[in-house]
Amino acid sequence: MEYSPQSSKNLVVVVNPTQLLNALEAQTDLNLKNALIVVSHRSPPYPKERFLPIMKVYNVGEKSVLWCPEPAPPKHFGGPLIVVWKRVLDWMRIRNILKSVGQCEFTTICLASIHTPWALGLTKRLKFKQLVSIDDGTAISTVSQLRRGKERSLDNCNLRTKITQKSLGKIEKIYFFTTCKEEFGPNDVVIKNNQTTLRKLAKNTEIDDRLFWFIGQPIVEGKLMTEETYYKIMRIIVSMLPNKVKKTYVLHPRESAKYVNCLVADGLFTECIRLDVPVEIGIALRNRAPAHVGGFFSTGLENIAGMLGQKIRVYAYRIEPEDWLGRHDFIEGVLNGWKGDHENKIKVVDLRDNH
């Protein structure tokens, strides 16, 4: 069925495949009928083809989606120019989305990373009755701190962060559809994302005890760790695994293969793969899923653990705080939350004694 802004009661806006996955789970669980889905995407890293397999799983036709392609930054841009470009892109994204949906009033709008300038800009300009926040990786933890007025605890807290907190604080109530166990503002409502569709997909998935997947993140690219430290930590992790296990490194969409290929060349990993869909749905769609999954602080670990439950073992690796070049307080907070989880879905493995 083709939806138009005039016939749609609800609006979903996403900018990457993970947001779309969580938005479609929200659409199912929250019964958001007649939802218009707007996909504002940039290629690379997210061409239209990255969204289509997810839409197929959730029986969403292309005609129910408004596509808003975004331009890539000029190749010669770098440093301060990239910062300027991001602000221009925020403005262009808001303009294009508003142009697509017009002056309609929606019952519910679903957004991810609601602390970002473009998402906050939409909440100020769109007419709606309730706002649903969907997960987009670890961004939900940042939103949690801002909604509770604890922006000073965030890394690199500055004037812009305080302005963001003030803008976010003007929204009286937000419904958080999330897999994470976070606290928010006093008027906010938390709705657990039970991954209903993903669980059904993974119900008959065979678990293979001979497979280990490491869920990658753009650690080196994001300047969170030096290349030397990264290789050292990965060698420690692999040394703890049984020799008989096939070790696969799953690249993040924004992660370069050049660092990981060295790990494969050195024989630490059997292969390096890049999935066309978010890792959760990538596992659910496979005939055989790994019995062992590891990573640093990716929310993919929590989603996989929630999806497959006790069928598999999920590990999050803790390293020395000084090995992180930034965000170590945030990362420690994520790991402590998983370690304190009474359901014990994720085992936090301390590598600090193995250096």
Asked if the domains 10-194 and 202-350 are classified in one and the same CATH topology, the answer is: yes
Residue 217 is predicted with a pLDDT of: 95
**Is the distance from CB of 40 to CB of 15 less than 8 angstroms?**
yes
- How many angstroms separate the Cα of 283 from the Cα of each of 128, 279, 289, 293, 335? 36, 6, 6, 11, 23
pLDDT by residue (tens digit) across 236-283? 999 999 889 999 999 998 898 888 888 999 999 999 999 988 998 888
Q: Is the pLDDT of residue 9 over 90?
A: no
What ranges do the domains of the chain cover?
10-194, 202-350
The tokens for 110 are 């679903």
Angle at which helices 117-125 and 159-169 cross, to 10° = 30
Q: Which CATH architecture has domain 10-194?
A: 3-Layer(aba) Sandwich (3.40)
Whole-prediction pTM? 0.87
Residue range 102-130: mean pLDDT, rounded = 91
Q: How many Cβ atoms sit within 10 Å of the Cβ of residue 345?
A: 18
Pick the CATH number of 202-350 from 3.30.465, 3.40.50, 1.10.1200, 4.10.860: 3.40.50
Ramachandran class of 156: left when φ > 0, alpha when ψ lies in -120 to 50, beta otherwise? left
| Tens-digit pLDDT profile for residues 306-321 | 888 788 999 999 999 8
20 Cβ contact list (under 8 Å, min separation 6): 14, 37, 39, 51, 54, 55
pLDDT in tens, 49-77: 999 999 999 998 887 799 998 887 777 76
